[in-house]
Structure 1
Amino acid sequence: MALAESKDGVVINADSAQVYGDLRVVTARPSAEDEANAPHRLFGHIDAADTGYSAARWAEEARTVIAEVHDAGKLPILVGGTGLYLRTLLDGIAPVPPIASEVRAAVRALTVAQAHAELAILDPGAAARLHPNDTTRVLRALEVVRATGRALADWQAARKGGIAATVRASATILLPPRDWLEARIVARSQEIVRSGAGEVAALLTRPDVPGDAPIRRAIGVPELSRLASGEIDADAALAKLTLSTRRYAKRQYTWFRHQHLTTDATMLRDYRVDAQSFNLYSAAPQQGTQT
């Protein structure tokens, strides 16, 4: 917020959960006060019933918003930790054709173990890269190779539409000390259980939001759904939510720690916040319009 206020910036969401308008507390969307202090875009603009929202759609919207912000003479500030969104925006999207509904249905009817076993035959490279329990990625890789006859990696090698070559991207990767992060996780989980239950209860009453809608997988929704149904009590919901958040933070921490700090056309990583000292380390940014 300080950067947006001092540099005439516009805050643009790059978090896959915060695009939904139904869960401000559960997804930690910016407060109404923050939104009043600086322009915010792509926050809470998607309805929970929209099950087709994707990284490709977000990247298309982000490209448009970034162009509008530049045209207005302001600074686009992308905020959020959904790596797939950022990669798609910068690197472009793999031109995978639409998957036939019958192919998708057949793949999703498989258990992840069955899907991984078939993937090992049709796309052994993907099977070797993906964890056997990574349901989302295993099913995606299998449906692509079933529908197109080509491995997902082949499609990804032909990405198009990225903006990395046209912008100068300066990034700050936050890698806080573990004890500080743990305290924030506990406090955040307590706040979700205390203040987010009503949001999830309202979501659960909507007949137009299917059971496999992406928003139902957002951290906090499964736990509070079980709390609302009486399956678990508040203490158990808090424990499960804290564990889910801790695991997510660990994945994010590990992923960002392994991003190289050299500039190239794949990542926003010109600056890094050191985990211990919080000093900023700068690498030479790309040429082009600043983002």
Structure 2
Amino acid sequence: MSTANSLDAPYDIAAGDRPPLALIAGPTASGKSDCAVALAQELERRGRRAVVINADSSQVYSDLTILSARPSEADMGGIEHRLFGAWDGAQSCSAADWAREASKTIAEIHREDAVPILAGGTGLYIRTLLDGIAPVPEIAPDVREEVRALPVHVAFAALQKEDPDRAARLAPADTARISRALEVVRSTGKPLSHWQGRMTGGIAGAVALHPVILLPERQTLYARCNLRFERMVERGALDEVAALLARNLDPGLPVMRAIGVPELAGVLRNEWSLESAIQRGSQATRNYAKRQFTWLRHQPPESWPRQEIKNYKENGLSAIILRFLC
């Protein structure tokens, strides 16, 4: 079996080699897309075709071209991109939904003797693709309704009794995770850890993973977040939100809760000014980047290289790309 440690090394799936998969993860505005394109272009210069695959939970929606910072034709640099804008906003794309399609897409690219390059910052998507998903049975509707009607402090107290191990790992105000853990144990009779120990569907063992995590200097990252949201507004994000609102979609759908949609919707409803919306959207982007940064620094395996970026102009993309090709 091949032990090649670079993406452009030859491999033979029929002979038992694990095909390569590049992964460029990082918080929003960290330069993942540019890095993925640059890597793909370098691979093609070396004679190996490459395809960029979206791993960002906002960029999957066709309705969010501007607000998700989806790469334009020019940004793609002649490189094929897949799973960008692949879901209609009326359809929720869960981590399991995305992982299922990403797995198929990666297999197709391998059959084409090309290199797939995952680019994104949605940790749950990446983890589900690589490690699989817990086979939790469908939650009984009455249990879900009862649990989600509970105040968070009541739900947390119940979880401390019914699944104390899980409760000990959660913050008392973490509404979503507390509700999920409580509904699982009440509906299935087993704690969430029981199901997570039976993960299925992950592809980590079937590919030769070449990951890197981009971790820019915080203040530089936040400045890029501010600039990004301002540029989105300049490019027509307000019209994009107006078109989305005109569809009268369920406000609980992910596309309606994406960063920038609630903030700009407030302008269209005359609830606050555009200036206020820009401030709110920039703050929401920075908050999201901070959460991504923390998750990516601590949750992925320690063996995954972390690329600290102090100055984009000095570092460029070359140092990052060399991690994949050396």
Decide: shared fold, TM above 0.5.
yes
* TM-score, length basis structure 1: 0.87
Alignment partner of 1:3 is 2:39: yes
User: Matches of 1:273 and 1:86 in 2, distance apart?
Assistant: 18
Cα-to-partner distance string for 1:1-25 (whole Å, 9 max, x where unaligned): 1212232211101111111110111
In structure 2, relative to structure 1, the CA distance for the partners of 1:232 and 1:125 (3 Å cut) is farther
Q: Percent identity?
A: 50
User: Matches of 2:152 and 2:322 in 1, distance apart?
Assistant: 42
2:247 to 206, 211, 220: 206
Equivalent runs, 1:80-119 vs 2, <5 Å: 80-119=120-159
In structure 2, relative to structure 1, the CA distance for the partners of 1:120 and 1:173 (3 Å cut) is same
Aligned to 1:266: none
Retained in 2: the 8 A contact 1:20–1:47? yes
Which structure has more relative contact order (CA 8 Å, sep 6+)? It is 2
* TM-score, length basis structure 2: 0.78
Aligned to 1:63: 103
Instruction: Kindly name which structure, 1 or 2, has the bigger radius of gyration based on alpha carbons.
Output: 2
User: Matches of 1:47 and 1:112 in 2, distance apart?
Assistant: 32
Moved more, 73-82 or 214-223: 214-223
User: Matches of 2:106 and 2:187 in 1, distance apart?
Assistant: 34
Alignment partner of 1:14 is 2:62: no
User: Matches of 2:233 and 2:189 in 1, distance apart?
Assistant: 46
The residue identity in structure 1 corresponding to 2:179 is L
Structure 1 unaligned regions, length at least 5: 264-268
Retained in 2: the 8 A contact 1:130–1:137? yes
The residue identity in structure 1 corresponding to 2:238 is A
Equivalent runs, 1:1-291 vs 2, <5 Å: 1-7=37-43, 8-35=49-76, 37-51=78-92, 53-194=93-234, 195-207=236-248, 209-259=249-299, 262-263=302-303, 269=304, 271-276=305-310, 278=315, 279-280=319-320
In structure 2, relative to structure 1, the CA distance for the partners of 1:114 and 1:240 (3 Å cut) is farther
Structure 2 unaligned regions, length at least 5: 1-36, 44-48
Retained in 1: the 8 A contact 2:55–2:122? yes
User: Matches of 1:251 and 1:189 in 2, distance apart?
Assistant: 17
Retained in 1: the 8 A contact 2:215–2:293? yes
The residue identity in structure 1 corresponding to 2:187 is A
For residue 309 of structure 2, give the secondary structure of its aligned residue in structure 1.
coil
User: Matches of 1:114 and 1:214 in 2, distance apart?
Assistant: 27
